[in-house]
């Protein structure tokens, strides 16, 4: 796991992927899966634009596999809204089986208006949370590296974002997302309703994600900023104490990692004011949810960002775009498939021991971006607007 994470930290976008390939080889990368002739990959298309971005991605994987002399054996399972419709469960046992027995999992996106007013356990989002918890995917890595070809797609000024390269390491199976007690209750005497959730972290949960962040940062610029709200929340006080103690306890971390701390409100502001001050950010589940969305906007489009959710190396990781299901453009062939395609590249590199396939995919994406085709989310004057399918085909052709 740690070796896997050593390597993951190196990527941020296509350019970083390409540049760092050789360095990855030097860190003794150990995989959940060693090289095979056939890889079983469970596809979770989910909802909204999910099916179309995955449809644009599998031909890329097939093409690269055929070029390199191996095969993908894809199988599909339901998650999110479609799983609620088909199984009355957003993450049914059959999907858990299909995921946990695969070499890796490629997830698209979940959610849509149709299920928005369902009770909590029958909402698409609950399926995602159930997947993360049941598969033990405690470490979520979300890179935000500005892509030179897309610099002008950001709403921020060029001088602010030029050179931004941030990795958000988000804890994914704890915190207020999963803490108990939680609920909504009505006081029988007054009729007053009360809703509550509990933000809770154990020291072992904090230590394990802190180590991931330190390992990640070792292969980047050696700077970790831990984000909390320790001025107000007890759970954040423990977070900060344990992050400091984990840093202190390991001579390598102490020597190589510059650790700082920031309150989450300040971090939200600093990310927009001067994002280049950040290298690796480590934070809990909820702050990580918010901060990673904010960081992704530095890059211009969520449509470009892959992510990895990892747990124990004996099990598969889940690779997915950072963006959501975009129900407003679903089924219209308008979505940008590149985050999904780059997620597939990450999967090859970090779960399947196929760095060669990852290199090829990333180089192809870069080649496409050097050209003049753009999906709507990254469209600029002078470029040609293409749909999801065409963008996927452009990547296949660039391989
Ligand atoms: C994310 C999403 C999820 C989260 C939702 C859909 C449950 O926002 O992956 O960031 O809050 O974790
Ligand atoms: Mg989110």
Q: Is the CB of 128 under 6 A from ligand 1?
A: yes
**Averaged pLDDT for residues 213-234:** 95
pLDDT in tens, 342-358: 999 999 987 898 999 99
Domain that holds residue 183: 147-301
Q: Which residues contact 392 (CB under 8 A, 6 or more apart)?
A: 55, 56, 57, 59, 60, 337, 341
- Domain final residue, candidates 273, 301, 329: 301
- Domain final residue, candidates 301, 323, 354: 301
Nearest ligand atom owner, CA of 286: 1
Residue with tokens 């540049």: 19
Closest Cα to atom 2 of ligand 1: 289
- φ, ψ at 196 (rounded to 5°): -150, 145
Q: Is the CB of 356 under 6 A from ligand 1?
A: no
Same domain, 293 and 319: no
- Residue 312: the pLDDT is 86
- Residue 149: the pLDDT is 85
pTM of the model: 0.89
At residue 155 the predicted structure's pLDDT band, cuts being 50, 70 and 90, is: confident
Same domain, 181 and 283: yes
**CA 240 to CA 162: how far, in whole Å?**
31
Q: Which residues are catalytic?
A: 177, 229, 265, 289, 293
**Averaged pLDDT for residues 168-185:** 97
Same domain, 129 and 158: no
Atom of ligand 1 nearest to the CA of 128: 7
Q: Is residue 92 part of a domain?
A: yes
- Among residues of the chain, what percentage have pLDDT more than 70? 92
- pLDDT above 70: residue 1: no
Same domain, 377 and 270: no
At residue 35 the predicted structure's pLDDT band, cuts being 50, 70 and 90, is: confident
Q: Is residue 1 part of a domain?
A: no
Same domain, 48 and 151: no
- Residue 313: the pLDDT is 80
Q: In a 3-state reduction of DSSP, which class is residue 170?
A: strand
- φ, ψ at 49 (rounded to 5°): -75, -5
pLDDT in tens, 56-107: 999 999 999 999 999 999 999 999 999 999 999 999 999 999 999 999 999 9
**Averaged pLDDT for residues 368-372:** 94
Q: Is residue 309 part of a domain?
A: no
Measure CA of the first residue to CA of the last residue in the chain; give whole Å: 30
**Could you tell me the distance, in angstroms and rounded to a whole number, from the CA of residue 30 to the centre of ligand 2?**
29
Same domain, 243 and 329: no
Q: Is the CB of 125 under 6 A from ligand 1?
A: yes
- pLDDT above 90: residue 15: no
- Residue 296: the pLDDT is 87
- What average pLDDT does the chain have? 90
Q: Is residue 26 part of a domain?
A: no
Same domain, 206 and 297: yes
* 72-76, 170-174, 308-312: the lowest-pLDDT one: 308-312
**Could you tell me the distance, in angstroms and rounded to a whole number, from the CA of residue 266 to the centre of ligand 1?**
22
Strands (E), 100-192: 104-109, 139-145, 165-171, 183-186
pLDDT in tens, 272-302: 999 999 999 999 999 999 999 999 888 877 7
The domain total for the chain is: 2
- pLDDT above 60: residue 10: no
CATH code at 200? 3.40.718.10
Q: Residue 36: how many CB atoms within 10 A of its CB?
A: 13
Pocket test for ligand 1, best of 289, 293, 309 (most atoms within 8 A of CB): 289
- Domain final residue, candidates 301, 329, 356: 301
Q: Residue 303: how many CB atoms within 10 A of its CB?
A: 26
**CA 14 to CA 6: how far, in whole Å?**
18
- Residue 84: the pLDDT is 98
Closest Cα to atom 10 of ligand 1: 289
Q: Is the CB of 172 under 6 A from ligand 1?
A: no
Same domain, 189 and 282: yes
Q: Is the CB of 131 under 6 A from ligand 1?
A: no
Task: Indicate left, alpha or beta for 177 from its phi (over 0: left) and psi (-120 to 50: alpha).
Answer: alpha
Q: Is residue 326 part of a domain?
A: yes
**Averaged pLDDT for residues 392-399:** 98
Q: Is the CB of 289 under 6 A from ligand 1?
A: yes
At residue 314 the predicted structure's pLDDT band, cuts being 50, 70 and 90, is: confident
Please give the residue that has the higher pLDDT: either 123 or 25: 123
- Residue 32: the pLDDT is 57
Same domain, 331 and 276: no
**Could you tell me the distance, in angstroms and rounded to a whole number, from the CA of residue 388 to the centre of ligand 1?**
23
Structure tokens at 142: 């979300």
- Residue 297: the pLDDT is 87
At residue 150 the predicted structure's pLDDT band, cuts being 50, 70 and 90, is: confident
Closest Cα to atom 7 of ligand 1: 125
- Among residues of the chain, what percentage have pLDDT more than 90? 80
**Could you tell me the distance, in angstroms and rounded to a whole number, from the CA of residue 286 to the centre of ligand 1?**
9
At CA 351, angle to CA 395 and CA 2, rounded to 5?
130
**Could you tell me the distance, in angstroms and rounded to a whole number, from the CA of residue 25 to the centre of ligand 2?**
32
- pLDDT above 60: residue 24: no
**Could you tell me the distance, in angstroms and rounded to a whole number, from the CA of residue 337 to the centre of ligand 2?**
18
Q: Is residue 121 part of a domain?
A: yes
- pLDDT above 50: residue 178: yes
- φ, ψ at 141 (rounded to 5°): -105, 120
Same domain, 379 and 340: yes
Closest Cα to atom 5 of ligand 1: 125
Report DSSP letters for 244-275, one per residue.
Answer: HHHHHH-HHHHHH-EEEEEEHHHHHHHHHH-G
Closest Cα to atom 12 of ligand 1: 289
Closest Cα to atom 1 of ligand 1: 289
Q: Is residue 5 part of a domain?
A: no
Closest Cα to atom 11 of ligand 1: 289
**Could you tell me the distance, in angstroms and rounded to a whole number, from the CA of residue 290 to the centre of ligand 2?**
6
Q: Is the CB of 47 under 6 A from ligand 1?
A: no
At residue 376 the predicted structure's pLDDT band, cuts being 50, 70 and 90, is: very high
Same domain, 185 and 294: yes
Pocket test for ligand 1, best of 115, 128, 171 (most atoms within 8 A of CB): 128
Q: Is residue 292 part of a domain?
A: yes
Same domain, 255 and 383: no
């Amino acid at each position: 796991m740690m070796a896997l994470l050593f390597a993951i930290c190196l990527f941020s976008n296509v350019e970083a992927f390409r540049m760092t390939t050789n360095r990855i080889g030097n860190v003794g990368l150990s995989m959940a899966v060693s090289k095979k002739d056939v890889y079983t990959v469970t596809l979770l298309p989910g909802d909204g634009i999910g099916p179309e971005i995955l449809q644009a991605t599998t031909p890329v994987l097939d093409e690269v596999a055929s070029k390199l002399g191996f095969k993908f054996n894809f199988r599909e399972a339901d998650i999110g809204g479609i799983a609620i419709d088909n199984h009355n469960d957003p993450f049914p046992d059959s999907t858990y089986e299909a995921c946990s027995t695969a070499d890796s999992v490629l997830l698209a996106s979940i959610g849509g208006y149709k299920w928005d007013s369902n009770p909590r356990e029958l909402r698409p989002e609950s399926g995602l949370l159930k997947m993360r918890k049941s598969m033990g995917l405690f470490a979520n890595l979300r890179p935000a590296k500005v892509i030179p070809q897309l610099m002008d797609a950001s709403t921020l000024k060029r001088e602010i974002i030029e050179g931004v390269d941030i990795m958000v390491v988000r804890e994914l199976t704890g915190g207020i997302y999963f803490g108990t007690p939680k609920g909504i209750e009505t006081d029988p005497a007054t009729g007053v309703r009360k809703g509550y959730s509990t933000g809770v972290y154990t020291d072992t949960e904090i230590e394990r994600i802190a180590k991931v962040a330190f390992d990640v940062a070792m292969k980047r610029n050696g700077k970790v900023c831990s984000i909390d709200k320790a001025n107000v929340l007890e759970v954040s006080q423990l977070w900060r104490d344990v992050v400091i103690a984990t840093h202190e306890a390991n001579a390598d971390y102490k020597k190589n990692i510059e650790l700082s701390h920031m309150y989450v409100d300040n971090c939200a502001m600093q990310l927009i004011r001067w994002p280049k001050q950040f290298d690796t950010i480590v934070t809990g589940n909820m702050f990580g949810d918010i901060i990673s969305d904010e960081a992704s906007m530095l890059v211009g489009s969520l449509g470009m960002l892959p992510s990895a959710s990892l747990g124990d190396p004996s099990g598969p990781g889940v690779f997915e775009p950072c963006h959501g299901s975009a129900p407003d453009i679903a089924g219209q062939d308008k979505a940008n498939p590149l985050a999904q395609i780059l997620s597939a590249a990450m999967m090859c590199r970090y779960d399947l021991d196929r760095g060669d396939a990852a290199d090829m995919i990333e180089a192809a994406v870069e080649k496409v971006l050097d050209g003049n085709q753009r999906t709507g989310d990254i469209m600029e004057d002078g470029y040609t607007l293409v749909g999801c399918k065409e963008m996927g085909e452009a990547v296949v052709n660039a391989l």
